[in-house]
Structure 1
Amino acid sequence: MGKRIFYFLLTNVLVLVTISIIFSLIGGANYINAQGGIDFGALLVVSAVIGFSGSFISLAMSRWMAKKMMNVRVIDPDASLTGYERDIVEKVHRLSRAAGLTHMPEVGVYDSPEVNAFATGPSKNRSLVAVSTGLLQEMDDDAVEGVIAHEVAHIANGDMVTMTLLQGVVNTFVVFLARIAAWAVSRFVKEELAPIVHFIAILVFQIAFSILGSLVVFAYSRHREYHADRGGADLAGRDKMVHALQMLKAYSNRMQGEEQTAISTLKINNKGKSMLFSTHPDLDDRINRLKM
């Protein structure tokens, strides 16, 4: 899920900045009243329009972005499949049917040594489950099934849509506060420079506040991991889900001290890192909760 969160947030920031620029150029973000002050009602409406547009456009682009940026090779389920491709498609489809999905997710593989898997897409009917070659090489069959069950649970839970709504609210506050801050900064420069300073300050503050706002999204992501773990346990069996997490823990321990940026999607090793900037809870905590 870590990759899914990262690309969603990156796309959201880029889309948000683009929409803000377009609104400014066409004069659609006019919230300054005749006295040179802020019409807070108008600003709130503008902020909500920009904020939710940014999050929903990011959601619509999420599957396409993930395929392009990760170079995911989508497996054709109707082709004559053999080996690991057949096994992955079979697992994804079987677990998706068990989760009550009526449309099977696209299934993909991408070349990477990292132990990784992610699910993304704008809806349950247009989703993608992708696994890395590193995961297939490092994990046994039961662990791979546990990982895939976890990702299918994210789709069945509608986590991307819920996150989009949350991101829309966060975006609204980001846009709202960024424009107030930009207006305040522009008051300290010469009148002829004020529009330019105001425009530049909006972009700077918007990016800065987006980074701060991402902490809320990260907190939600950590919360949803526990739900996906339980969902994965219901689909694949608790033993397989625990086994998958234990293999991830063993792998992460083995890789500690080496220059690795991403250890896994199910669990990026958070020891020594601030939980504020983590998309996933500690592995030991996740394992213990499943065993309860």
Structure 2
Amino acid sequence: MLRIGLFLLTNFAILLLAGAVLSFFGFDSIMAQNGVDLNLTALLVWCAVIGFAGSIISLLASKWMAKKFMHVRMIDQPKNETEQWLVSTVESLSKDAGVGMPELGIFPSPQSNAFATGWNKNKSLVAVSEGLLQRMNRDEVRAVLAHEIGHVANGDMVTLTLIQGVVNTFVLFFSRIIGHFVDRVILKNEQGHGIGYFISVMIAQIILTILASMVVMWFSRRREFRADEAGAQLAGSTAMIGALEKLKAEYNMPSDMGETFTAFGLKNGRTGSFQEKFGHLFMSHPPLDARIAALKNR
């Protein structure tokens, strides 16, 4: 979920920045003066260029973002037996999965966590938390690593980028349709684009982005099941189920750990709460019980 979160954060920031910069330099006004605001085909093409550019930039920056914000310590040369084991394990799993050896690192976090990211199957990054190495046995760690290698082998980041590009396109497109409607129909502005256009576009873009994230999250949940299956194939079903069971037991612990997992969307909220009713729509991962059941029934 870390890779998804960083990707979405970067993508959202790029879209907002692109929209603000283009508005500041009067790009929308130039379009309006040339009748482009009424040319839906031209508007759609423009939105697609900006939308896919945002998602592609996010993909290309994903490894740098992960290293920077997660404070990943790269294992260039193993310094101890644990690091040597990690390198040899990832090397073996990558070979079995048919992908190149990824960069490997460890990031400081007491929670059991791991992620894989990168634009190329043969030039990816896999990182595990210190908490994962401390809390899980080696069979379980190997299963988690196999799960992440599964994401790489399945090309999940590239597929996510394409889906995000489509989502971005329609967010930009419909936010400007809404802005045009507010400006021309409600506010009766007939000369260029008024302040109502720019304000309504920004508000609509934020709201539509939040709604569109449900599509991306749905896709992410489906890919998690596939990565679990890949992990089970590479490391064994018993080890993969054991790792998920260990994670489930960890976030059910009555401590600050539970609050951390709640923030990442792994736990439901209070009975009857908005989070319990609708929070699952914004979760990047399926419930652990569902993932465990899927592996047991495969």
Normalized against structure 1, the TM-score is what? Answer: 0.90
Q: Which is worse superposed, 128-137 or 269-278?
A: 269-278
Give the match for residue 287 of structure 2: 282
Task: Name the Cα RMSD after superposition.
Answer: 2.5
State the match for 2:235 in structure 1.
236
Runs (4+) of structure 1 moved beyond 4 Å?
A: 25-31, 33-37, 189-194, 255-259
* Matching of residues 54-133 of structure 1 within 5 Å: 54-76=54-76, 79-101=77-99, 103-133=100-130
Name whichever of 12-21 and 34-43 sits farther off.
34-43
1:6-85 → structure 2 map (5 Å cutoff): 6-25=5-24, 28-29=27-28, 30-32=30-32, 38-76=38-76, 79-85=77-83
- 1:227 matched to 2:226: yes
Q: How many percent of aligned residue pairs carry the same amino acid?
A: 48
What whole-Å deviation, never above 9, does each CA across 1:228-257 have from its counterpart, x for those lacking one? 011001111111111111111111222478
Paired with 1:37 and 1:73, the residues of 2 have a C-alpha distance of 49
Higher helix share: 2
Q: Deviation of residue 144 (structure 1)?
A: 0.6
Matched, 1:154 2:159: no
Which position in structure 2 is the counterpart of 1:174?
Answer: 171
Distance 1:37 1:160, change over 3 A: closer
Q: Which string of whole-angstrom CA distances, capped at 9 and with x for unpartnered residues, describes residues 121-158 of structure 1?
A: 11112211111111111111111111110000000000
Contact 1:178–1:205, Cα closer than 8 Å, also in 2: yes
> What's the offset of the Cα at 1:38?
2.2
Amino acid at match of 2:86: I
| SS class of match (2:124) | strand
- Whether 2:198 is the aligned partner of 1:199: answer yes
| TM-score relative to the length of structure 2 | 0.88
CA, structure 1 residues 263+186, in 2 after alignment: closer, same or farther (shift >3 Å)?
Answer: closer
Distance 1:108 1:255, change over 3 A: farther
Equivalent pair of 2:51/2:168 in contact (CA under 8 Å):
yes
- What's the offset of the Cα at 1:263? 6.8
Q: Which is further off, 280-289 or 158-167?
A: 280-289
CA separation in 2, counterparts of 1:131 and 1:35?
Answer: 52
Output the amino acid matched with 1:261: T
Q: 1:170 Cα deviation (Å)?
A: 0.4
